[in-house]
Structure 1
Amino acid sequence: MSDPIRIHSFPISGHAHRVVLFASLAGIDHEVITVDLPNGAHKTPAFLALNPNGQVPVIEDGETVISDSNAILVYLARKYAPAYIPTDPVGEAEVQKFLTLAAGELAFGPAAARLINVFNAPFNMEVCQATAARVLGKLDAHLDGRDFLVGDKPSIADVAIYSYTAHAPEGNVSLEPYPNVRRLLANIEALDGFVPMPVTKAGLSA
């Protein structure tokens, strides 16, 4: 029996949460290792040997070490949970489109607005919230008549967009105008193995 995958994580990192969430949803044997970011554990030589960028998440799968949350999702799906990534060219292209959205507009919109409130990040809140409205509007339109982003079942596309979308209110970004997005989040939360990301104090007071 192989050892569990080691996921180097931080509880309120959406990038790390999407990896932990996927491992749990897909039933992949894993161990979560909390990296003490506030005290600089991600800048130690031991951690930088795993990821020279000094960021979570990072996974160790035996001798294989992978960083970048979306790259990790693709790797885990390909190796352990192929039902979560289409094999047909069109379906795979659709998944890739949403992985790009998660790394782009979602990161610069809802995720960045949250970083301002939660971590005092030096971003422009007005710009972040405008970007959030744009990307959430596109997601809501795409989800009209759909239960999931790609095809008729969950994929790593849904996992990639879940964490920062669900926690958009922590950046004072309301999800009320986006009923289809809220329905998607509820569909993901209803899946066996779902694990939530902790709500921060900023989110509770927003």
Structure 2
Amino acid sequence: MKLYDFPLSGHAHRAHLFLSLIDVDFELVAVDLASGEHKKPPFLALNPFGQVPVLEDDGFIVPDSIAIMVYVAKKYGKTDWLPEDPQQAAQIQRWLSVAAGQIAYGPCAARLVTVFGADFNANEVIARAHSILTLIDAELANRDWLVTNRATIADIALYSYIVQAPEGNVDISFYHDVAKWLRQIEALPGFVPFPTSKAGLRAIS
């Protein structure tokens, strides 16, 4: 099993983190985004969208971080991370949609501006980030995890871009329940930190 990775990608980090948390053997393959390796034919043969991460498992290709987590959880029977119960599965899907929606167009987009020079309206994406962080903080006010009484792929899907939101000039210091939740994820066996960039609020901290 190979995971094609770029260390500063939050999408790649969430896949890397999940594989590490469930303790499966895999090879981490670095993709040189700076040189455009992700837009060249060998990589495009793996993922025509030219994006990391991509999982290669005995010839079966899985692009997309969320798809990778679902695939690996199903393959290894990790029903603690991805429950079969219909109600819990629906709740997890809700948060996976948040990861692909409000998180992607909020804290993720804000970080893309400062770390990669993306052409987004910074004020707009920062405002979106605070909107979703306010909702997540409220969700975590009376619970430790987003769905069940333990971490699931829902928590991992949101972690990377929230923990590094300050790199996109999104101040998370006053989201106290989010902060507690981040620390709980970081205390999990097999946790892999997301490398920090000196960007945004991190540049002056």
TM range (shorter): over 0.9
Identity of counterpart residues, as a percentage?
Answer: 50
| CA shift for structure 1 position 27 | 0.5
Give 2:4's aligned residue: 8
Are 1:54 and 2:50 an aligned pair? yes
Give 1:82's aligned residue: 79
How big is each residue's C-alpha offset from its partner over 1:133-157, in whole Å with a ceiling of 9 and x where there is no partner? 1100010011111111111011000
SS in 1 for 2:4: strand
1:199 aligned residue (190, 196, 200): 196
The residue type equivalent to 1:14 in the other structure is G
For structure 1, list consecutive stretches of 5 or more residues without a partner in the other structure.
none
C-alpha distance in structure 2 between counterparts of 1:97 and 1:202, whole Å: 30
C-alpha distance in structure 2 between counterparts of 1:95 and 1:182, whole Å: 20
Q: For 1:80-159, list aligned pairs within 5 A.
A: 80=76, 81-159=78-156
The residue type equivalent to 1:62 in the other structure is D
Farther off after superposition, 102-111 or 196-205: 196-205
| CA shift for structure 1 position 82 | 2.7
Count of aligned pairs? 202
TM-score norm. by structure 2 comes to: 0.96
| CA shift for structure 1 position 177 | 2.0
C-alpha distance in structure 1 between counterparts of 2:199 and 2:123, whole Å: 17
The alignment yields a C-alpha RMSD, in angstroms, of: 0.9
SS in 1 for 2:43: helix
SS in 2 for 1:110: helix
C-alpha distance in structure 2 between counterparts of 1:184 and 1:70, whole Å: 20
C-alpha distance in structure 2 between counterparts of 1:121 and 1:63, whole Å: 33
For structure 2, list consecutive stretches of 5 or more residues without a partner in the other structure.
none
TM-score norm. by structure 1 comes to: 0.96
The residue type equivalent to 2:183 in the other structure is A
How big is each residue's C-alpha offset from its partner over 1:103-131, in whole Å with a ceiling of 9 and x where there is no partner? 00001010111111111110001110110
SS in 2 for 1:201: coil
1:162 aligned residue (151, 159, 170): 159
- What stretches of structure 1 move > 6 A for 4+ residues in a row? none
The residue type equivalent to 1:205 in the other structure is A
C-alpha distance in structure 2 between counterparts of 1:26 and 1:148, whole Å: 17
Are 1:67 and 2:63 an aligned pair? yes
2:169 aligned residue (172, 179, 183): 172
Give 1:32's aligned residue: 28
The residue type equivalent to 1:193 in the other structure is G
Give 1:23's aligned residue: 19
SS in 2 for 1:104: helix
